[in-house]
């Protein structure tokens, strides 16, 4: 058999995808699985987005799209950035991708040479490091411990930067912790980056609208305008508008960088579905009250799960500012044995035993670069969360 490319040797299947698939496999066998592993909103796509897509299809808007996005969608994105982030991008500074992941992938591929370094606050979304490796770059994780709210300290950030550093990749609110930076904390990061003009900054703002307790979202190019020409501001419709399957991401940034990203895009997709882009215009320009309504529901879910986890000995959960994840510490359970006879040596053992014995799907913290933790998604109903927490409590309390 012909050989597979070497570039894939260090790129693995996402642990969250693998766990979600395991849950589906059990469900097909008749097992009632509580799925808390997927970072996917359980709300429907807004009806006006579906109507806009339908109208576009009926009108014949079904041809090849512009590689960088339709003029209508780019104009809607331009208005969004100005309205919500106080950022002005000309239309040739805006680009559309098949989800935020493709935007990030294309940006890294367009800028990184083998051996270039990408600084990634950790724990972090699984795909960041794998995308870096795919491009031949070196992911440089920077520990963001629980005792400082899973945020990066300016001192640790500065220590991680070298002459080979090409990118700093920020994601707040964060996957998997839900941590978000205040304006003061973001300014401290910006102050460090002003001293290193050779480094690009990418900010993945996908969870921008999922924030709680009167927390105010900020993005680095807004906080420090002097960094504007080095920042790629990434966002999308997946999380805020429950449009994961539509595959709509977008970004704003320097013109030369946009041209490079677009050049990569011409080779791997040549554009985003015109039907999806019509739906994107509708949600970005349409009524925005749905965002606060759904954030309010997520907050109730977050508080419910935090209260339930607080009752479980050996589990310590930090209160997140945003997103729809909780990242509990299970150090108190390491070394114990489950009712089913499984020894818990680490968080991977924990999540695998949890799904096999109690049929609750979560994801090990090791997949995100930090142990002993696990990620729990509360992007599901209170009923499912209640049953899931009951099973987790039973699982943990029965350990010896």
Same domain, 300 and 266: no
Checking if the pLDDT of 10 tops 80, the result is: no
Please provide the size of the chain in residues: 400
**Band of residue 199 on the pLDDT scale cut at 50, 70, 90:** very high
Confidence (pLDDT) at 267:
92
Which tens digit of pLDDT belongs to each residue from 112-139?
A: 999 999 999 999 999 999 999 999 999 9
Q: Which of 278, 305, 208 is nearest to 45 (CA)?
A: 278
Residue 334 — left, alpha, or beta (φ > 0 → left; ψ -120 to 50 → alpha)? beta
Whole-number Å distance between alpha carbons of 306 and 324: 12
- Do 34 and 149 lie in one domain? The reply is no
* CA-angle at 231, arms to 230 and 232, nearest 5°: 130
| Residue 386 lies inside a defined structural domain of this protein | yes
Q: Which residue has the higher pLDDT, 261 or 11?
A: 261
Q: 34 with 361: CB under 8 angstroms?
A: yes
The verdict on 30 and 92 lying in the same domain is no
**Percentage of residues of the chain with pLDDT beyond 70:** 100
Q: Give the CATH number of the domain where residue 366 resides.
A: 3.90.1150.10
Q: How confident is the model at residue 9 (pLDDT cuts 50, 70, 90)?
A: confident
Give the pLDDT score at 257: 98
What is the average pLDDT across 66-88?
98
Residue 193 lies in a domain: yes
Each as own residue / partner, the long-range contacts of residues 78-86 (CB below 8 Å, 24 or more positions apart, any chain) are: 79/284, 79/285, 80/235, 80/284, 81/233, 81/252, 84/208, 85/219, 85/221, 85/222, 85/233, 86/222
Nearest to 169 by CA among 195, 131, 208, 217: 131
Of residues 291 and 17, more confidently modeled? 291
pLDDT band (50, 70, 90) for residue 209 = very high
Pair of tokens at residue 224: 């420090």
Residue 12 has pLDDT above 80, yes or no: no
Q: Is residue 116 domain-shared with residue 244, that is, in the same domain?
A: yes
Q: In this structure, are 34 and 69 located in the same domain?
A: no
User: Looking at the domain assignment, is residue 184 inside a domain?
Assistant: yes
Q: Which domain holds residue 11?
A: 6-44+290-397
The candidate with the shortest Cα–Cα distance to 135, out of 160, 117, 161, is: 117
**The pLDDT value given to residue 124:** 97
Instruction: Say whether both 231 and 343 belong to one domain.
Output: no
Residues 378, 79: Cα–Cα separation, whole Å: 31
Boundary of a domain, candidates 268, 285, 302: 285
Of 32-41, 160-169, 230-239, 344-353, the poorest mean pLDDT is in 32-41
Q: Tally the domains of the chain.
A: 2
For the full predicted model, state whether its pTM sits above 0.75: yes
SS (H, E, C) the chain: CCCCCHHHCCCCCCHHHHHHHHHHHHHHCCCCCEECCCCCCCCCCCHHHHHHHHHHHHCCCCCCCCCCCCHHHHHHHHHHHHHHHCCCCCHHHEEEECHHHHHHHHHHHHHCCCCCEEEEEECCCHHHHHHHHHCCCEEEEEECCHHHCCCCCHHHHHHHCCCCEEEEEECCCCCCCCCCCCHHHHHHHHHHHCCCCCCEEEEECCCCCCECCCCCCCCHHHHCHHHHHHEEEEEECCCCCCCHHHCCEEEECCHHHHHHHHHHHHHHCCCCCHHHHHHHHHHHHCCCHHHHHHHHHHHHHHHHHHHHHCCCCCCECCCCCECCEECCECHHHCCCECCCCCECCCHHHHHHHHHHHCCEECEEHHHHCCCCEEEEECCCCHHHHHHHHHHHHHHHHCCC
* pLDDT the model gives residue 25: 83
Q: Are residues 179 and 55 in the same domain?
A: yes
Same domain, yes or no, for 353 and 305? yes
> Is there a domain that residue 213 lies in?
yes
1 assigned to some structural domain: no
What gap in Å lies between CA 126 and CA 323, rounded to an integer? 16
Residues 6+ apart with CB under 8 A from 297: none
Residue 337 to residue 97: CA distance in whole angstroms = 46
Domain membership flag for residue 125: yes
Q: How confident is the model at residue 6 (pLDDT cuts 50, 70, 90)?
A: confident
When pLDDT is cut at 50, 70 and 90, the band that residue 22 belongs to is: confident
Residues 264 and 349 in one domain: no
Mean pLDDT of 248-262: 97
Strand partners, 326: 376
Report the alpha-carbon distance of residue 9 to residue 147 in Å, rounded: 35
Residue 341 has pLDDT above 80, yes or no: yes
Q: Quote the CA–CA distance of 344 and 316 in Å, as a whole number.
A: 17
Which domain-ending residue is among 252, 285, 318?
Answer: 285
Please check whether residues 85 and 10 belong to one and the same domain. Answer: no
Taking residues 45-68, what's their average pLDDT? Answer: 97
Instruction: Identify the band that residue 17 occupies on the pLDDT scale cut at 50, 70 and 90.
Output: confident
Place of tokens 């935007």: 103
Q: What is the pLDDT of residue 174?
A: 98
Q: Are residues 385 and 243 in the same domain?
A: no
Is 219 a member of any domain? yes
Query: Where among 270, 285, 300 does a domain terminate?
Result: 285
- One domain for residues 320 and 276: no
372 in any annotated domain: yes
User: Which CATH number does the domain housing residue 92 bear?
Assistant: 3.40.640.10
């Amino acid at each position: 058999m012909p050989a597979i490319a070497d570039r894939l040797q260090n790129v693995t299947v996402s642990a969250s995808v693998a766990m979600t698939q395991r849950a589906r496999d059990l469900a097909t066998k008749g097992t009632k699985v509580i799925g808390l592993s997927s970072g996917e909103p359980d709300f429907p796509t807004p009806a006006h987005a579906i109507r806009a897509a339908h109208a576009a299809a009926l009108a014949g808007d079904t041809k090849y799209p512009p590689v960088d996005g339709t003029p209508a969608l780019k104009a809607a994105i331009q208005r969004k950035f100005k309205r919500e982030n106080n950022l002005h991008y000309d239309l040739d500074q805006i680009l559309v991708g098949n989800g935020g992941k493709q935007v990030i992938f294309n940006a890294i591929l367009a800028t990184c040479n083998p051996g270039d370094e990408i600084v990634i606050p950790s724990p972090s979304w699984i795909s960041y490091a794998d995308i870096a490796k795919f491009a031949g770059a070196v992911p440089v994780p920077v520990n963001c411990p629980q005792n400082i709210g899973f945020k990066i300290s300016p001192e640790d950030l500065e220590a991680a930067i070298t002459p080979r550093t090409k990118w700093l990749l920020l994601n707040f609110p964060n996957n998997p912790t839900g941590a978000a930076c205040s304006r003061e904390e973001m300014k401290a990061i910006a102050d460090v980056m002003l001293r290193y003009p050779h480094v690009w900054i990418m900010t993945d703002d996908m969870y921008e609208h999922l924030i709680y307790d009167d927390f105010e979202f900020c993005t680095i190019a807004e906080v420090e305008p002097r960094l504007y020409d080095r920042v790629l501001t990434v966002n999308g419709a997946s999380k805020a508008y429950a449009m994961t399957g539509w595959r709509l991401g977008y970004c704003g940034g320097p013109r030369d960088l946009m041209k490079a990203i677009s050049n990569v895009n011409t080779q791997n997709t040549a554009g985003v579905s015109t039907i999806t882009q019509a739906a994107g215009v509708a949600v970005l320009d349409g009524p925005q009250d749905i965002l606060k309504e759904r954030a309010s529901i997520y907050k109730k879910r977050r508080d419910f799960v935090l209260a339930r986890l607080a009752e479980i000995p050996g589990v310590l959960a930090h209160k997140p500012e945003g997103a729809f994840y909780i990242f509990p510490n299970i150090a108190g359970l390491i070394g114990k044995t489950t009712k089913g006879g499984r020894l818990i040596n680490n968080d991977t053992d924990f999540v695998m035993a949890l799904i096999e014995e109690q049929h609750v799907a979560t994801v090990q913290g090791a997949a995100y670069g930090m142990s002993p933790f696990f990620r729990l998604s509360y992007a599901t109903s209170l009923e499912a969360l209640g049953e899931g927490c009951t099973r987790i409590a039973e699982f943990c309390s029965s350990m010896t």
